[in-house]
Structure 1
Amino acid sequence: MDKRTGKMAGTGTIVDVRMADGVIASVTPCSETPEGELPWISPGWIDLQVNGYAGFDFNAQPVDVKDVLGVTEQMNRYGVTSYLPTVITGSFERMKQAVGQIGRVCDEYASAAASIAGIHVEGPYLSREDGPRGAHPREHVREPDYDEWLQLQKESGNRIRMITVAPERQGMAEFVRRLADEGITVCIGHTAASPDQLDAAIEAGAVLSTHLGNGSHPVLARHPNYIWHQLGDDRLWASFIPDGHHLAPAVLKSMVRAKRDRFVLVTDCVALGGMPPGKYRSLVGGEVEVHANGRLSTADNPNILAGSGVTMPECVANAIRFAGLSMKETVEAITERPANVLGREDLGRLVPGAAADLTLFHTDSDGRVEVLETIVKGKTAYAVKRG
């Protein structure tokens, strides 16, 4: 039986976490105080929106085995034990190849299967309007097509667990209802929907607002508008990207206070995350500029973001610094809450019987967060090399 000792993130209680056969066997107070500085210990971190990172891309043409394994390795390096590869709007052929490749890699590689909790399809049934459409290619956004959905789901090996849609598309309420009945987590995003259209989607089963505050017109009516409507609806969870670019610190602070305990944090990281400043060609946004401050935008319109380059440790640090969140709230927003959104009681919890997914990390006096070890299903997937 393997054991890790650390301070519970949020309470500071020193505990021993014992693991066996890929699950947590026990969580008990440490009987004697260990010597030296102890790490924080939390359930493994969960990211519901990962497009790629460090040159590895879930929206490449085509997606390769190395993309799936490379992103998984990078996620583990940054403390993420479960994540959703995110395939964005594209032609049916490209999206089919991407979800199929992810599914096949999960079938063949245990490391990928252990960390990939499902696939998030962001689109293609999104707004055509500039602003709400974001960096999604206009030529491929389209009306909901249930037959197309079934083909994508079959190709993925039934691994698509989440989809983001725009409620204003024709027939969307019925589409949402059918997917919700199938157990799919349906999200609202990249939308310019009216209040009635938003309500219809929520009543049909939509449960989360994808990166709320983004994928919208640069200029909106003060009120009412589709951001306020989603922010104020207690039936919806919301995901936020705390990279300092998608939402200004004061906006993030206001939004998390409005949502209280019904928000999660995501990176929305893309393949250009971690790359040197410059201009690149990317499916997400076309010609994209990576700025020196880490901001990713379309080259022809710096106001339109093209995903993020943030890592989960940076999200943790930023959420605490920008929004005034406690360590407890921040960790819940990347563990238990996203697990709840997915309906996964086995993830995001330090309790006996849950998956033995752990993130051990350190925080310094400036608030920076460093991952020391990532454990996935009881096995070390990443550890800092000391000495």
Structure 2
Amino acid sequence: MKECIGIHYRTGRPIRLKWHRGNIEEIQELSDGIGDDLPYLAPGLVDLQVNGYGGYDLNAWPMEEEHVRHVTRGLWKEGVTSYFPTIITNSNEAIERAVGVISAVCDKEKGMDRCIAGIHLEGPFISPEEGPRGAHHREYVKGPDWSLFQRWQEAAGGRIKVVTLSPEWPGAGEFIQRCAAQGVIVSIGHTAATPEQIREAVNAGASMSTHLGNGAHLLLPRHPNYLWEQLAQEDLWSCMIADGFHLPESVLKVILRVKGEKALLVSDSVSFCGMEPGEYTTHIGGKVVLTPEGKLHLAENPNLLAGSAQTLKWGVEHLKNTGWCPLSEAWEMASTRPSRAANLPGREGLAEGAPADFLLFQRKKSALHLLKTYKHGDCVYHARNVKGDGS
């Protein structure tokens, strides 16, 4: 049996955590004052939406198995112990190949399979309209097609666990019911649906909103509209990109207050996440700039975002630093809440019998410094030249 000690992220009390064969066996609360330099202990981060990391794009072809491995290992350095590789709107064949590559990696390596909790299919069943469609290619957008989805699911080895779609299409309700019956989460996103269509989707089994507030028209009727309706639906989990750039602080605050325990964080990170500030060329030929402040924008227009270049840890820091919620709540938006939304084994967080997916980190002013990442009880990341890591 292995063990480490640290400060519980929620209670602020020192604990000893023991684990064996990949699961937490015991958590003991210790006396205060045993060490002022103890690190914090917290559940591993869970990201429902990852498009790439560290220069590796999961939607650029040809995608190789090593790309998936690089993204997974890179996310360990950011404290992510479970994630959903996200495949966006593309040709039927490209989507089939991409999910097949991810599935092949999981089949070959148990370590990768444990970290990849499922595949998130973001499109092509989304709105064709400008604004809601976002950066997705119009030529590949289409209505929900169950036989086509089953073809992709077969190529994925059954690993497609989240589907982002717009319920504005005819037949969307039946498609959502079929997904829900197979345990596939349907998330409403990139949508121009009417409030009535949103309500019908929820009644059919849709349970989530994809990056709420983004992938929308620039101008909407003041009310009703699809943003208000998703906020009002108590059964919908609301995913937010809290990088400080995608949503105004007022919108973040409203979502936090309205959705409560149903508010959670995603990164929606692209391949430039984890890279140094500078100018880069995308695989489709466009130039983008990653600023020292962490904003990724088109080189020709600083006002237009080119995706998210920050991880979940950044989002946690941003929410904590705004003062809208304590660190413990921000952390749970990026760990236990997404686990609950996706019904993952880690939904209980730091608890006896739960998977030994946890982190040790230090708090330094406004930043969180990761020391170690554990997945299934194995240390998959250890910061260099770090002392007092509690183990």
Q: TM-score, normalised by structure 1?
A: 0.95
Q: CA deviation at 1:181?
A: 0.7
Q: CA deviation at 1:334?
A: 1.3
When the two chains are superposed, the root-mean-square deviation of aligned CA atoms in Å is: 1.7
Q: CA deviation at 1:86?
A: 0.5
Match in the other structure for 2:244 = 244
Match in the other structure for 1:166 = 166
> 1-side partners of 2:297 and 2:177: how far apart?
34
**What SS does structure 2 have at the residue aligned with 1:197?**
helix
Deviations 1:134-173 (A, max 9, x none): 1111111111111111011111111111110001022111
Equivalent position amino acid for 2:127 in 1: S
> Is the Cα–Cα contact under 8 Å of residues 13 and 32 in structure 2 kept in the other structure?
no
* Cα separation, partners in 2 of 1:182 and 1:121, compared to 1, 3 Å: same
Equivalent position amino acid for 2:100 in 1: G
> 2-side partners of 1:204 and 1:43: how far apart?
32
> Is the Cα–Cα contact under 8 Å of residues 282 and 288 in structure 1 kept in the other structure?
no
Q: Which runs of 5+ in 2 are unaligned?
A: 387-391
> 2-side partners of 1:196 and 1:301: how far apart?
36
Q: CA deviation at 1:332?
A: 1.3
**What SS does structure 1 have at the residue aligned with 2:385?**
coil
Match in the other structure for 1:227 = 227
Q: CA deviation at 1:250?
A: 2.2
Equivalent position amino acid for 1:8 in 2: H
Match in the other structure for 1:371 = 370
> 2-side partners of 1:335 and 1:109: how far apart?
24
Task: Answer with 262-271 or 347-356: which moved more.
Answer: 347-356
Match in the other structure for 1:254 = 254
Deviations 1:217-237 (A, max 9, x none): 112222221111111211111
> Is the Cα–Cα contact under 8 Å of residues 240 and 265 in structure 2 kept in the other structure?
yes
> Is the Cα–Cα contact under 8 Å of residues 243 and 314 in structure 1 kept in the other structure?
yes
Equivalent position amino acid for 2:360 in 1: L
Equivalent position amino acid for 2:119 in 1: I
* Cα separation, partners in 2 of 1:162 and 1:28, compared to 1, 3 Å: same
> 1-side partners of 2:333 and 2:155: how far apart?
31
> 2-side partners of 1:229 and 1:302: how far apart?
31
Q: CA deviation at 1:240?
A: 0.3
Q: Which runs of 5+ in 1 are unaligned?
A: none
Match in the other structure for 1:151 = 151
Deviations 1:155-205 (A, max 9, x none): 111111111000102211110010011101110000011011101111000
* Cα separation, partners in 2 of 1:266 and 1:21, compared to 1, 3 Å: same
**What SS does structure 2 have at the residue aligned with 1:260?**
helix
Q: CA deviation at 1:31?
A: 5.4
Are 2:199 and 1:210 equivalent residues in the alignment? no
Aligned residues between the structures: 384
Match in the other structure for 1:273 = 273
> 1-side partners of 2:204 and 2:287: how far apart?
36
> 2-side partners of 1:264 and 1:346: how far apart?
15
> Is the Cα–Cα contact under 8 Å of residues 356 and 374 in structure 2 kept in the other structure?
yes
Instruction: State the identity %.
Output: 41
Deviations 1:90-130 (A, max 9, x none): 00111111111001001112321121111111011001111
Equivalent position amino acid for 1:357 in 2: D
**What SS does structure 2 have at the residue aligned with 1:5?**
strand
* Cα separation, partners in 2 of 1:348 and 1:72, compared to 1, 3 Å: farther
Q: CA deviation at 1:364?
A: 1.1
Match in the other structure for 1:138 = 138
> 1-side partners of 2:322 and 2:243: how far apart?
10
> 1-side partners of 2:108 and 2:334: how far apart?
28
Q: 5 Å matches for 1:20-169?
A: 20-30=20-30, 33-169=33-169
**What SS does structure 2 have at the residue aligned with 1:167?**
coil
